[in-house]
Structure 1
Amino acid sequence: MQPAPAGKMAHDTAMHMHHHHDMTTGTVRSSVQYTLPAVTLVRDDGKAVSLPDELNDGRPVILTFIYTSCTTICPMVSQTFEELQARLGADRDKVHLVSISIDPEEDTTARLKAYAARFDAGPEWQHYTGTVEASIAAQRAFNVYRGDKMNHTAVVFFRAAPGKPWLRLDGLATPAELLSAYHDVVASN
C-alpha cells in the first residue's frame, strides 16, 4: 500500500480540524497550579472586584481571555462558551464562566456587555476589564501574556474549587471537549 502524499495528509488533517464534532482538534491538556494576582478588575456590570474573590467564590470556574474587537479566535471561543452554557443544563447555575479582556483600553464595560449579549451570556458568565496593568497581571498569572493582543492563542482554564489545580486546555476546543473537561475537573474534586 502506498503512503498518502504529504500534501494530502496535511489537507485531510486541516479538514478534520474544521469539523466541530471531531474530537481530534489538537487540543493539549495540562494540570497547572496558578497563583491568582491580587488585582482589581471591572466586571461587565461596572462593579470593581478582586480577581481572587471572583474566582474563589466556591463555584467551579471556566476561564478564558478575549477581546471584543478580535475577529478570529475570540468569537470562536465565545461561541463555544455559548454552546457550553446550553450543554451544562442544570449545572449551568453552579458554574462561573469568566472572560477576561486582554484589551482593556478598548474594552469598556459597555463594549463587554454588548459582546456578552452577542453570545447570549447568562448570569453565570461574566466579562471583565480593568487597567492594562491588571489585565497583564492576570494574563501573566495564567501564562498567556504574549505582549500583543494579536499574538494571543486559544486557551481555556477549568478549576473545580479554590486551591485546586487548574486544567489548562490549549487550542480551539469543541463544546463537547469543554463539557468533558468540566466534568473531569468536577469529578476529580
Structure 2
Amino acid sequence: MNQQADTLTLEGLSVELAETAQALVKDVAIHLRAGEIFALVGESGSGKSITSLAAMRLLPDALRVGSGRALMGDTDLFALPEARMQTVRGRRMAMIFQNPMSALNPVQTVFRQVAETLRLHTALRGAALRDRVASLLEEVGIPDPRQRMGFYPHQLSGGQQQRIMIAMALACEPEVLIAD
C-alpha cells in the first residue's frame, strides 16, 4: 500500500460569522493526496465555496475560521504570516473562482493577469514570459492566443473568461488546484 503523505489536509475546519460566531461550516475533514481528485458536493449554500476560500485563506472580512487546521504537508496554512501565504497561493495551491467577471480585473489585459502569477513565482520575463502565457492560453483552448493576450475581460465570452481563470490557476503548476 502506498503511504504517500497528504498534499492538503483540512482537520476539524469550522467557519463562522466574525461578528456573532454563528457557525456556517462545521468540523470539515478532508485529506487529499498527490494526484487525487476530490469532489465536495452539496446543495447551494451548503458551504462548499466557504470551505474552499478558508483553505486558501481568502475568506471575506465578515467570516473567520473558528477552529481547525489546514495543512500542506507539515505546514499549517492558518499559522503562516500573510506574506508567506502569498508565496503558497499560486505556486503550491491555486483556485479557479466560480465567477470570472468578479475575479478578473476589468482594466487589465489578459496577458497582465495571467503573467502576474508567473512574475511573482518564477524567473520568467520578457519573451519567455509572453511565450508561456501564450502557451497557457492555447492549452485551455483560447483561439489566437497571442492576439487575445491584449484583450480585456469584457472583450471575451463568458466561457473564454473562465478559461483565462483556468490558465491563471495552472500557470505555476500547483500541487493543489481548487475549482469552485
TM over 0.5: no
Greater relative contact order, per chain length (Cα 8 Å cut-off, separation 6+): 1
